[in-house]
Amino acid sequence: MICIPVMGKTQTAAMKAVEKSAPHCDMIELRMDLIPKADLSALIDRGREISPILKVLVTNRSASQSGKAPPVKEAGNEDSRPSGSTGTVADGEKKRIALLKDAVAVGCDYVDCELDTPETLRRELLSGIEALHHRTGLIVSDHDFKKTPPLAVLKKRFRSCVEAKADIVKIVTYARHPEDNLRILELVAYARKEGLNIAAFCMGPHGTASRILAPLMGSCISYASLRRGLESAPGQLTVNEIKDIFYRLHIKA
């Protein structure tokens, strides 16, 4: 699936982004941390009016994962990241996850919840999903904006996301060197061998190869910007670029 992130400084700007993006992708990602005072239901409804088969992913990224929502408390060693913070849950975190619970209630296709989200809140979100018979899928994500850790560490983070009941595990790292792409591709192969859904790639200029090759290995979501200047992460290709590359490589998006 090709997914275009939707952002906007106002509801009107976000709505225009939905209207421009929906015809060109399989999924839109509503980045609610980047859309102040958004009308979530209206954005979802408009996307589906334009494309009835469009999937809608709702994300409300925490500051700890490079979003604009309030940060979570530190969860300890960054290479262990076992199951999220278990300390006192800040009001900001409760509000951040409450928005994802609202997204489940109005019937979005997926919500993205970070692995470092306090476990109590992740369980509340999962309970809401279960109460509606898993109409909404859960993406549990982990981002490393500084490096690509060793494969053993990536596998440990992957297993933690699986244990958090993810329907899709999202693991994203930063490539400091071209060879970092190989580790993330090995992780994709490992997940698919286990029969588990994964979306994984590297960010940054050195990470472009993984964005192209990961779908060949079985990564199930490819994030692409509508056009240059609208990237939600460093190294992100545009939707036209990635479609052209996939077409030439005979990759089914």
Q: Are 75 and 84 in contact (CB under 8 A)?
A: yes
Give a yes or no: residue 89 inside a domain: no
**In the predicted model, is pLDDT for residue 14 greater than 70?**
yes
Q: How many domains does the chain have?
A: 1
Exactly one of 37, 73, 94, 143 is catalytic; name it: 143
Rounded mean pLDDT of 80-108?
A: 78
Q: Give the pLDDT confidence of 34-67 residue by residue, as tens digits.
A: 998 899 999 999 999 999 999 999 999 987 666 5
CATH number, domain containing residue 152: 3.20.20.70
Q: How confident is the model at residue 219 (pLDDT cuts 50, 70, 90)?
A: very high
Measured CA to CA, the distance from residue 35 to residue 20 in angstroms comes to: 16
Q: How confident is the model at residue 92 (pLDDT cuts 50, 70, 90)?
A: confident
From the list 176, 166, 108, the residue with the least C-alpha distance to 142 is: 166
Higher-scoring residue by pLDDT: 19, 90: 19
44 burial type by CB count under 10 A (0-12 exposed, 13-18 middle, 19+ buried): buried
Q: Give the pLDDT confidence of 175-209 residue by residue, as tens digits.
A: 999 999 999 999 999 999 999 999 999 999 999 99
- As a whole number, the mean pLDDT across the chain is 90
Give a yes or no: residue 176 inside a domain: yes
Exactly one of 68, 94, 170, 250 is catalytic; name it: 170
Output the pLDDT for position 235: 86
Q: How confident is the model at residue 85 (pLDDT cuts 50, 70, 90)?
A: very low
Give a yes or no: residue 150 inside a domain: yes
Give a yes or no: residue 198 inside a domain: yes
In this structure, what token pair is assigned to residue 187? 């992780």
Give a yes or no: residue 174 inside a domain: yes
Measured CA to CA, the distance from residue 12 to residue 23 in angstroms comes to: 18
From the list 70, 51, 50, the residue with the least C-alpha distance to 60 is: 70
Higher-scoring residue by pLDDT: 94, 73: 94
- Domain range for 213 is 144-218
**In the predicted model, is pLDDT for residue 69 greater than 90?**
no
Give a yes or no: residue 31 inside a domain: no
Give a yes or no: residue 137 inside a domain: no
Q: Catalytic annotation on 170?
A: yes
Q: Catalytic annotation on 143?
A: yes
